[in-house]
A and B are shown apart, each in its own frame.
Chain A
Amino acid sequence: MLKINGLYKRFGDKEVLCGLDMHVPANSVFGFIGRNGAGKTTTMKAVLGLIKTDAGEIFVDGERVRYGETQTNRKIGYLPDVPEFYSFMTAREYLRLCADITGMDKNEVASRTEELLTLVGLDTEKHRIGGYSRGMKQRLGIAQALFARPRLLICDEPTSALDPVGRKEILDILSAAASQTTVLFSTHILSDVERICTDIAFLDGGKNALCGKLADIKAKYRADEYVIETENAEGANALLAAFPTLVADGCALSLKDADGMLFDVLRFVSERGIPVIRVERSEPSLEALFVEAVEK
């Protein structure tokens, strides 16, 4: 859906992007992760043809993006990091303007407007946009981005400025939107990514430090590691005595490089009747992956 090859961008003497490659597959929910100032917004603006890049090429659905031109943008819905709308309009009037700009079929405008306002929960709002809260603007932002049924939805940190309830609402809306379009959103909040993303890219030092399907990346970095937590210290000590390779953290014992040893441990537990709170396969956290990828 979106392909970025060797993208370079510098502001003054500051290299923000230096050779970014990225591929966003169709129908994915793509999490674009990077710390503040990593260049996420810059990359997105380049995709929209809003800033001039120094080198590299960008293709949206096979079509080359050019600075200052808006051809490829017909396929994209965009929500900027701080969306601002004409404050003297109401949400309905604004969507009407969007419909006219994109040339949407006139018979469809009214029904599409209601559909989207309902999706983002602004259908009963009658006031002008000037009086909207941050979260309401963010939701209207998603409505206008989705309005013309874009093939690609680009959201720049849609959840960063919101409280937990507002964040959950936005994530739910994005998940719902994902059934109809490819979603690319940037964030520095890793839990949001784990919640809805199918694919991710870590942006660091102007390059992609890690990129691919979330499941694949997790599988690749998954050290076969299990955690078994006993109810009391005696149980833990008995296990430690029998299996010296276990690493203890209080009553939680972690077991690396299982290779069948897990079953020996479990057999030991069942024979001795050791009370257990949990046994689980430990997933590598995105944080750990991020740190690892960045340090490489």
Chain B
Amino acid sequence: MRGFVAFVKKEFTEQLRTGKLFMLAAVFALFGIMNPAVAKLTPWMMEQFAESLAQTGISITEYEITAFDSWLQFFKNIPMALIIFVLAECGIFTKEYASRTLVLCLTKGLTRRRVMLAKTFVLSILWSVLYFACFGITYAYSAYFWDNSVVCSLGFAVLGWWLLGMLCVALVPFFSALFDANTGVAAGVGGVIVASYLLGLIPRLAEYTPAFLMKSAPLMYGQADSGEYTYAVIVTAILIVASVAAALPLFNKKQL
């Protein structure tokens, strides 16, 4: 346990001192602020365009901005934030293969299992904290400007994307056990998400794919009930556990 805690501490120190934590915090905070800001500025921008649009014959009807627009922005931006997160962190294992720093810890009796679990743990904490910080910022501004209660099932929609992020986190150790380079890891994680998206295009399979969790709009408009997402949640949770479980023996046999 002490080795695990020490290694987790080392990972956080690394995130901090290499500036990665700061960079990610800035990105997620920026997204958090931008969502309500863009929504707030939309009427003003519309006004700016209105004249030129009017000349082309398009007329703009008065449109009232609500918290809804802020949350639409949130779900539009979160994929980008997740991609940045994965790209920034996909080398968390492979970097140590290349620098050969892991070998010294392993030869001191730290088990590979602990190394893997510690890194996965750190990634899930990072993702959760960053994601919910981004959510919190958007939530606070939206509550200040408008009324968040107009959005149906907001909590569930938000948890869906968090779970999807956790799937990406869980895929990192799996692909890091398979590949030596971070490009392999990034491609693997991206590949799984894209594959799940493509499978989701088949109507019969859609509700069983993790990509189904991306459909936040029906939830927000109250057109869909959170119960309809049960299978997607279960499948994603199983994939998360399976990915980490499969990574353990693979990582144990990996030539370092």
Chain A interface (Cβ < 8 Å from any Cβ of B) = 48, 50-52, 68, 70-71, 73-74, 76, 78, 80, 82-86, 88-89, 93, 96-98, 100-103, 144, 148
Given the known A-B contacts A86-B10, A101-B3, are A50 and B108 also in contact in the complex, defined by CB atoms under 8 Å? no
Q: Which residues of A contact B159 (CB under 8 A)?
A: none
Q: Which residues of A contact B252 (CB under 8 A)?
A: 68
- Alpha-carbon distance A46/B136, docked complex (angstroms): 51
Chain B interface (Cβ < 8 Å from any Cβ of A) = 2-3, 5-7, 10, 13-14, 17-18, 99-101, 103-112, 252-253, 255-256
Q: Contact check, B107 vs A100: say whether CB atoms are below 8 A apart.
A: no
Q: Contact check, A88 vs B5: say whether CB atoms are below 8 A apart.
A: no
**A101's contact among B17, B105, B255, B256, by CB below 8 Å, is which?**
B105
**B101's contact among A73, A76, A85, by CB below 8 Å, is which?**
A85
Q: Contact check, A101 vs B109: say whether CB atoms are below 8 A apart.
A: yes
Q: Which residues of B contact A86 (CB under 8 A)?
A: 10, 14, 101
- Chain A's nearest CB lies how many Å from the CB of B94? 14
**B107's contact among A76, A82, A103, by CB below 8 Å, is which?**
A76
Q: A86-B101, A88-B14, A101-B3 are in contact. List 7 more A-B contacts (CB 8 A).
A: A70-B109, A73-B108, A84-B101, A88-B13, A103-B2, A103-B3, A148-B108
- Chain A's nearest CB lies how many Å from the CB of B97? 11
- Alpha-carbon distance A73/B103, docked complex (angstroms): 11
Which of B6, B101, B107 lies at the interface centre, i.e. has the most chain A CB atoms within 10 A of its CB? B107
- Alpha-carbon distance A88/B10, docked complex (angstroms): 10
Q: Which residues of B contact A51 (CB under 8 A)?
A: 255
**B110's contact among A50, A93, A96, A101, by CB below 8 Å, is which?**
A101
Q: Which secondary structure characterizes the binding site on chain A?
A: loop
Q: Which residues of A contact B99 (CB under 8 A)?
A: 84
Given the known A-B contacts A73-B109, A76-B107, A89-B13, are A82 and B6 also in contact in the complex, defined by CB atoms under 8 Å? no
Which 10 residue pairs of A and B lie closest in terms of their CB atoms, listed nearest first?
A100-B6, A88-B17, A78-B107, A74-B109, A101-B3, A101-B110, A101-B108, A73-B107, A70-B109, A68-B252
**A48's contact among B3, B14, B107, B112, by CB below 8 Å, is which?**
B107
Which of A68, A82, A83, A89 lies at the interface centre, i.e. has the most chain B CB atoms within 10 A of its CB? A68
Given the known A-B contacts A50-B256, A97-B10, A101-B3, are A80 and B100 also in contact in the complex, defined by CB atoms under 8 Å? yes
- Alpha-carbon distance A93/B17, docked complex (angstroms): 13
- Alpha-carbon distance A266/B44, docked complex (angstroms): 112
Q: Provide 28 A-B residue pairs closer than 8 Å at the C-beta atoms, listed in order of the A residue.
A: A50-B255, A51-B255, A68-B253, A70-B106, A70-B109, A71-B109, A73-B107, A74-B109, A85-B104, A86-B101, A88-B13, A88-B14, A88-B18, A89-B10, A97-B6, A97-B10, A97-B105, A100-B2, A100-B5, A101-B2, A101-B7, A101-B108, A101-B109, A102-B108, A102-B109, A103-B3, A103-B109, A144-B104
**A82's contact among B3, B100, B106, by CB below 8 Å, is which?**
B100
**Looking across the interface, which residue of chain B has its beta carbon closest to that of A70?**
B109
Q: Contact check, B108 vs A98: say whether CB atoms are below 8 A apart.
A: yes
Q: Which residues of B contact A96 (CB under 8 A)?
A: 6
- Chain A's nearest CB lies how many Å from the CB of B95? 11
- Alpha-carbon distance A76/B107, docked complex (angstroms): 8
Q: Contact check, A70 vs B101: say whether CB atoms are below 8 A apart.
A: no
**A100's contact among B3, B100, B112, B255, by CB below 8 Å, is which?**
B3
**B104's contact among A83, A89, A93, A148, by CB below 8 Å, is which?**
A83
Given the known A-B contacts A50-B256, A80-B100, A84-B101, are A68 and B109 also in contact in the complex, defined by CB atoms under 8 Å? no
- Chain B's nearest CB lies how many Å from the CB of A43? 15
- Chain A's nearest CB lies how many Å from the CB of B177? 12
Q: Which residues of B contact A148 (CB under 8 A)?
A: 108
- Alpha-carbon distance A71/B99, docked complex (angstroms): 24
Q: Contact check, B103 vs A80: say whether CB atoms are below 8 A apart.
A: yes
- Chain A's nearest CB lies how many Å from the CB of B132? 27
- Chain A's nearest CB lies how many Å from the CB of B104? 7
- Alpha-carbon distance A101/B1, docked complex (angstroms): 9
